[in-house]
């Protein structure tokens, strides 16, 4: 069950990241931007899966899951405020997400008894 939740959660985060990146590149009218960005953020269902993780996953997974989610939430807020893909703050959040998702995958893999990373075989 945990393996499926982990896969579902990381997939939801990936879908959010892609959707936010597309919003960052689009020329969305200012009046529509907050609604569009928030809608794209919510659609993959990461909130719901994160609550399931909080019930069944060890604390280190719950913490890492929240950390990755918070970076995407910060990205959402930055885009709602009008940022674009060319802004330095957006690029920094992209880097933070890469680090957060890598850390999340590592603790998930360790919890499932897999190698620390796909390159450690």
pLDDT score of 39 more than 90: yes
Element (H, E) at 105: helix 88-111
Rg of the chain (C-alpha set): 15
Q: What is the pLDDT of residues 65-85, one digit of tens each?
A: 999 999 999 999 999 999 999
Helix 2-25 to helix 59-80 angle (10° resolution) is: 20
For residue 17, the model assigns a pLDDT of 98
Please state, as a whole number, how many other Cβ atoms lie within 10 Å of the Cβ of residue 74: 15
For residue 2, the model assigns a pLDDT of 93
């Amino acid at each position: 069950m945990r393996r499926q939740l982990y896969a579902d959660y990381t997939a939801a985060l990936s879908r959010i990241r892609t959707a936010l990146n597309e919003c960052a590149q689009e020329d969305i009218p200012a009046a529509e931007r907050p609604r569009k960005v928030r809608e794209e953020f919510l659609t993959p269902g990461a909130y719901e899966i994160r609550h399931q993780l909080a019930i069944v996953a060890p604390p280190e997974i719950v913490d890492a899951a929240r950390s990755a989610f918070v970076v995407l939430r910060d990205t959402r807020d930055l885009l709602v405020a009008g940022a674009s893909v060319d802004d330095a703050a957006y690029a920094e959040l992209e880097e933070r997400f890469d680090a957060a998702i890598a850390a999340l995958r590592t603790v998930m893999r360790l919890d499932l008894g897999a190698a620390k990373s796909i390159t450690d075989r």
